[in-house]
Amino acid sequence: MTPEASNYPEYECCRLCPRQCGVNRNAGKRGHCGASATLRIAAFLPHFGEEPSLVGTRGSGTVFFGGCSCGCFFCQNHQISQEDVGKFYTQEEFTDALRALVNQGVQNLNFVTPGHYWPNIRQACLQLRSEGITLPFLWNSSGYEDASLIPAVARVMDVFLPDFKFSDPELAERCMGDARYPELALNAIAEMVDRHGFLRPWDTSGEITASTGTLVRHLVLPGQFQNSIRALDLLYEHFGPLLPISLMSQFMPMPACRERHFLDSKTEESLYQQVCQHAIELGFQRIYAQEGLGDDRFAPDFTKPEPFGTANRGK
């Protein structure tokens, strides 16, 4: 039986993301993100696959929500973003599950692709704060967000972890259906930096995990050198050398890539190394680089109890 919908006013005519689809999710309608007003979540787990600044020694307490407003066809989490894998939760069950993660000793609570469930997340986080829980809350997003929402989010969240996927409007249109992505993402990131600054403390050993600030991720896509170079140029122009960035090589071609005959290979190692070198030459001082190219570690199976396999068990 599906739990009763949350019935938050923001879901009545939903405009939480740039799609502005305006559907009545409280009436059971599903927005462009694929979500109604009932929480669908695929996993709660201590995650050891994030950057050391977030993982520490005990893992990041990560929540993988169903649905996604961005909707990249190549999404490695396509099972949950596009295929309805996950379980339904009431607000109380959701808050209880977050409490359980906290009790496992995780370093933070990490909300992945959270924007379309912002009212539920806000309520849960405020409840946990009222109970004296002080660990950082992370907003782990695609970057495809309405900047006007960020000030409210910043009053609840401590760390922003946005992607900056596309600098090329045409590539954005081809991959996720909105050529406005570069402008929208830069505006959202600017608001995040304005509210919380850059990620700090900056300790890449993971011995001291970050408590606040912004870290921007960029996934290097196969054959899309100029997209990555321009993305770095834009980030440097807007935010300067101290912006922490995470350059990812983990792209894995999903079934939709093969069907479209586009982005249907792994990222070339030489391309990735050139992108990393460009970041250094620009002058970025805080860079996470990823070892190795995409493999099974980066293709979770959310139909299994351990979506990321035994490699995610940590130390």
d(CA 99, CA 33): 26
Q: Tens of pLDDT along the chain (315 residues)? A: 466 666 899 999 999 999 999 999 999 999 999 999 999 999 999 999 999 999 999 999 999 999 999 999 999 988 888 888 899 999 999 999 999 999 999 999 999 999 999 999 999 999 999 999 999 999 999 999 999 999 999 999 999 999 999 999 999 999 999 999 999 999 999 999 999 999 999 999 999 999 999 999 999 999 999 999 999 999 999 999 999 999 999 999 999 999 999 999 999 999 999 999 999 999 999 999 998 776 666 678 888 888 887 556 555
Q: What is the pLDDT of residue 85?
A: 86
pLDDT of residue 82: 87
Q: Residue 150's pLDDT is what? A: 98
- Sorted by where each begins, the domain ranges of the chain are 42-313
Strand ranges for 66-189 from DSSP E: 87-89, 109-112, 137-141, 159-162
pTM for the full predicted model = 0.95
Would you state the pLDDT for residue 81?
87
Domain 42-313 has CATH 3.20.20.70: yes
Residue 18 in contact with residue 71, Cβ under 8 Å? no
Place of tokens 């999404």: 75
* Other C-beta atoms lying within 10 Å of the C-beta of residue 27: 12
The closest alpha carbon to 16, from 5, 6, 8, belongs to: 8
**pLDDT score, position 7:** 81
Q: What is the pLDDT of residue 296?
A: 61
Q: What is the pLDDT of residue 298?
A: 63
Sheet strand arrangement including 213-214: 87-89, 39-47, 60-65, 109-112, 137-141, 159-162, 213-214
Spatial contact of 276 and 220, defined as CB atoms under 8 Å apart: no
